[in-house]
Every structure is written in structure tokens, then in C-alpha cells.
């Protein structure tokens, strides 16, 4: 039986937000299980928190079986408390019996894993107050411990050279093969990714996350630790959001580099917005997302709130659309996850066929990459990201990796796809150079 939480809210002085956020990261290093979610100042109509931190598990739901989401729902109905955690891309094998993963796991995350934290800390979108909810020490004790922590002072990162799991020539040939699958009618869009990796390296994950989050601040950034496993994430993409009965998904498809100056940057945005190829990629995934949400939402409630929105991030411009619906009264909230996972922006369509092709054509197991991490509130609302632009580190095996890629359509140019994949990879690799 989980006891009621002690709760308190503390005002933050103007300009104190960045300092207190750094102190929260420093304070959290003592815990072997934690999840920090950082919006980096990006706000929209769905924003609940500027920053959200959960530490120390008092209970855990971990599963690689079909009843994983049902167990998650059952636990929440019993306790009505916070849950934080992840769903690996490979949970697809549980949801769809036709699927499997042929490559060996390097990071060994459980397919589905959530924890109820001892302490939850969150800063409101206005960055004016810090709230603390605790099952252990009093909120006042936690607040004092955070304020007495040092502002995070990262050490220099090692210089690392990443190997590519798929070399350029093979990557180009694979794109040609996937275009042939599309021509043959096997699918009409497929997400293809490549792994970059370093073996036998030693890093300090909080330093890596701080550097990544400084150079590539993103609205769905995350620092995740599960004992010896770490994820440092700079994701710009929301997978699924719930508020009451409303379900929202915001798939990203369409990427353009930033310009060298303001004039060129504006031109790159206009070219992205007018690109027939990028619009085709985006609208295919919008249609897939509409279909996914329709499986758990009321008939007629699914709609496209925004189509082809152009949003700017430090390294790239992105085309983002918003799709929403109303959860059916007879549906558990976890059914919205079941019927939409994995997210269409990281698979393609039709989903089952392209996930089979992904396993055939990619040379690495995705694991946590292109899965999701996020939170569920005591009221059963949630917000989950898409795990992209992320580094993964296994402290036991000293294996560091990332994966990047893009959506392939029949109009895709293999060389341009390679360059887009490398542009996304560069944003991760450069923090070690």
C-alpha cells in the first residue's frame, strides 16, 4: 500500500529557474533510478511543466509480456499515483505476434518498464515555482537539499570517433532496395535508421546530457538512468499526450538544415514548407496517426488540428502536424498506447509490413531508440516523447551508441537520405569532438 504524498510548493525568484534546474540535476546524481524531463523553455497549449524530475523507485512495473499495459493500468487504478518510465520499440513484438527482432540487444532494457518514484519535483511552465511531492523525506528537506546542491559543473568530454554500423555504400543500396519495395506495392513509406557506436569508452552521463542539452535544447529532452543504463535525449517530438479524454499526437516528418544566416535560414524554412516530397512524407504519417487514434477514440472525434507546421530547432527545421481525438468511454487509457505504438513517424506504413522490413534491412536492434519515455499523473493523464536524437550508454559493457535515419518514399534520393541521416548524427557526435 503506497501512502499519500506530502506536497509543497516553493516560489522561485525571477531568473532562478536555470540555476535551480542545474541544482536538481546535481542533486539527482545520488539516485540509481531517475528520469528528468526538460522542455527547455518551449511551451505550447499542452505544456504542464517546464521541468519534471522523478527519483528513486518505491514500486516497479516491468514486463516483456502481452499483459504489460494491462498491468500498468491495473496498478494505476489501485494506487492513483505517479508513474515514470519507458516502452522500447521492441515492445512491438509483444503487441504484434508476426514481428520479431533478429539482432542482439546491446543495452538490455526491459520492453516495458515503469516506476513509482519516491520523490517528484516539477517546475510550472511560467518557471515561477517548484512543487515537490514525496513519499519519504519532507518537501522542505528535499527543497533544502536541492538548493544546497552545487550548480552543475560539467567536466570536459572525451574526444570520441564513432563507427557506423552501415557504411555509406551499403546505406545507399538499402535505400534503393526500399524504393523497390515501395514500387512493388509492399509499402508506401518506411523509416530507415543506422547505428553509430563506440566500444570500450568511459563517460560521465550527466556531463554528456548537460552538453547535449546545451547544444541541442529540445522540448522533449530527457535524462534517464536505470542503474547502469543511461539515456541522454534531445527529442523534438511528442508521441502521445492525454488530458482528460483528449488524446493528442504530433508526428514529425520533414527536415531541413539551418541556414548560415537569417536570409538563408528563412529560405530553408520556405523550401521545407513547399516541398512536395516532405509534404507527402508528412501526410502519409498523419493519415496513419489518424487511423491509430481512431482505434481507441470516439467515432468522428479524430481530427487534424495542424497540418505541415514548420518549427525551428538549433540544428534543423522540422515539419510537424497535430492530430487529436476523444478517448472512448469504454477504453482504458493504456489502450491509446496499445493501438498507436510504435509511433508511425518511426515506422512508416502499413505498419506491420514496414516493421518486418525494418528488421530485415537495419543492422542493429533499436531497443529504446524510437520507443518512448514519459510520465503518467495520478489522474491518469500522460505525456510521452519519441526517443530520437539520443545517446545510450551501458556502463557495464562501456558501449555508447545512437541511431539516426529518416523516412523513405519512392521519391527519395539515396544520397540525400544519407546526408539527412548524417546531419542528425552530427548533432550527437559533435559533442565529443
380: three-class secondary structure by DSSP: coil
Residue of 21, 92, 242, 253 marked active site: 253
Residue of 133, 189, 195, 237 marked active site: 237
Helix axes 17-28, 139-147, angle to 10 degrees: 100
**What pLDDT was estimated at residue 1?**
64
The answer to whether position 154 is within a domain reads no
Q: Cell 506530502 sits at which residue?
A: 6
Q: Which residue range is the domain that position 302 belongs to? A: 6-144+161-247+254-432
Residue range 315-353, pLDDT digits in tens: 889 999 999 999 999 999 999 999 999 999 999 999 999
Nearest one of 151, 145, 127, 152 to 55, comparing CA atoms:
145
Q: Is 91 left (phi over 0), alpha (psi -120 to 50) or beta?
A: alpha
Distance (Å) of CA 136 to CA 80, 141, 256, 337, 379: 17, 10, 47, 31, 21
The answer to whether position 153 is within a domain reads no
Cell of 131: 512543487
Residue range 151-163, pLDDT digits in tens: 777 889 999 999 9
pLDDT at 139 over 90: yes
Strands 399-408 and 163-164: unpaired
Distance (Å) of CA 261 to CA 167, 256, 257, 323, 383: 32, 14, 12, 33, 35
The answer to whether position 150 is within a domain reads no
Domains of the chain: total: 1
Which pLDDT band, with edges at 50, 70 and 90, does 3 fall under?
confident
What distance lies between CA 343 and its chain's CA centroid? 10
- Alpha-carbon gap, residue 327 to 338, rounded angstroms: 13
pLDDT at 232 over 70: yes
Percent of the chain with pLDDT over 90: 94
Which pLDDT band, with edges at 50, 70 and 90, does 67 fall under?
confident
Predicted model pTM: 0.96
Find the mean pLDDT for residues 409-432: 94
- Alpha-carbon gap, residue 190 to 350, rounded angstroms: 9
Distance (Å) of CA 421 to CA 36, 138, 151, 188, 283: 27, 47, 35, 20, 21
State yes or no: is 237 an active-site residue. yes
Averaged pLDDT of the chain: 95
The answer to whether position 155 is within a domain reads no
Find the mean pLDDT for residues 89-96: 96
Instruction: Write the DSSP assignment of 217-269 as a string of letters.
Output: --TEEEEEEETTEEEEEEE--EEEEEETTEEEEE-EEEEEEPPSSHHHHHHHH
**What pLDDT was estimated at residue 85?**
98
State yes or no: is 278 an active-site residue. no
The answer to whether position 270 is within a domain reads yes
Q: Which helix (H) or strand (E) holds 349?
A: strand 348-349
The answer to whether position 149 is within a domain reads no
- Alpha-carbon gap, residue 191 to 408, rounded angstroms: 6
The answer to whether position 222 is within a domain reads yes
**What pLDDT was estimated at residue 201?**
97
Residue range 18-45, pLDDT digits in tens: 999 999 999 999 999 999 999 999 999 9
pLDDT at 210 over 80: yes
The answer to whether position 151 is within a domain reads no
Residue range 260-288, pLDDT digits in tens: 999 999 999 999 999 998 999 899 999 99
Give the CATH number, domain containing residue 121. 3.60.120.10
Amino acid at each position: 500500500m503506497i501512502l499519500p504524498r506530502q506536497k509543497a510548493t516553493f516560489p522561485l525568484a525571477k531568473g532562478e529557474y536555470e540555476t535551480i534546474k542545474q541544482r536538481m540535476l546535481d542533486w539527482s546524481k545520488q539516485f540509481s533510478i531517475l528520469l528528468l524531463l526538460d522542455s527547455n523553455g518551449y511551451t505550447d497549449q499542452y505544456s504542464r511543466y517546464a521541468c519534471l524530475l522523478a527519483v528513486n523507485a518505491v514500486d516497479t512495473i516491468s514486463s516483456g509480456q502481452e499483459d504489460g499495459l494491462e498491468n500498468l493500468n491495473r496498478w494505476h487504478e489501485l494506487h492513483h499515483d505517479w508513474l515514470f518510465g519507458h516502452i522500447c520499440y521492441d515492445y512491438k513484438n509483444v503487441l504484434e505476434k508476426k514481428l520479431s527482432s533478429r539482432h542482439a540487444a546491446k543495452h538490455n532494457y526491459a520492453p516495458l518498464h515503469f516506476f513509482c518514484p519516491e520523490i517528484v519535483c516539477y517546475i510550472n511552465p511560467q518557471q515561477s515555482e517548484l512543487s515537490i511531492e514525496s513519499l519519504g523525506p519532507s518537501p522542505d528537506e528535499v527543497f533544502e537539499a536541492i538548493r544546497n546542491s552545487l550548480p552543475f559543473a560539467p567536466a570536459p568530454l572525451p574526444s570520441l570517433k564513432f563507427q557506423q554500423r552501415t557504411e555509406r555504400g551499403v546505406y545507399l543500396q538499402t535505400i534503393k532496395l526500399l524504393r523497390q519495395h515501395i514500387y512493388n506495392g509492399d509499402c508506401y513509406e518506411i523509416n530507415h535508421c543506422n547505428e553509430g557506436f563506440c566500444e570500450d569508452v568511459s563517460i560521465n552521463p550527466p556531463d554528456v546530457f548537460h552538453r547535449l542539452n546545451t547544444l541541442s535544447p529540445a522540448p522533449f529532452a530527457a535524462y534517464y538512468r536505470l542503474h547502469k543504463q543511461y539515456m541522454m535525449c534531445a527529442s523534438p517530438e511528442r508521441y502521445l499526450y492525454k488530458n482528460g479524454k483528449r488524446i493528442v499526437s504530433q508526428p514529425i516528418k520533414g527536415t531541413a538544415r539551418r541556414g548560415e544566416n537569417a536570409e538563408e535560414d528563412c529560405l530553408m524554412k520556405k523550401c521545407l514548407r513547399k516541398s512536395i516530397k516532405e509534404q507527402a512524407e508528412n501526410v502519409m504519417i498523419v493519415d496513419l496517426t489518424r487511423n491509430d487514434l481512431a482505434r481507441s477514440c470516439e467515432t468522428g472525434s479524430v481530427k487534424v488540428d495542424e497540418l505541415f507546421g514548420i518549427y525551428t530547432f538549433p540544428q534543423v527545421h522540422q515539419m510537424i502536424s497535430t492530430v487529436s481525438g476523444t478517448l472512448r468511454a469504454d477504453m482504458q487509457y493504456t489502450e491509446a498506447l496499445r493501438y498507436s505504438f510504435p509511433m508511425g513517424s518511426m515506422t512508416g506504413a502499413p505498419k506491420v509490413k514496414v516493421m518486418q522490413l525494418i528488421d530485415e534491412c537495419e543492422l542493429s536492434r533499436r531497443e529504446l531508440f524510437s520507443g518512448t519515455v514519459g510520465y503518467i499523473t495520478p489522474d491518469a493523464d500522460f505525456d510521452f516523447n519519441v526517443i530520437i536524437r539520443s545517446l545510450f550508454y551501458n556502463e557495464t559493457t562501456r558501449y555508447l551508441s545512437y541511431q539516426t535515419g529518416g523516412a523513405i518514399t519512392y521519391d527519395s534520393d539515396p544520397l540525400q537520405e544519407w546526408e539527412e541521416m548524417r546531419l542528425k548524427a552530427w548533432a550527437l557526435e559533435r559533442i565529443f569532438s
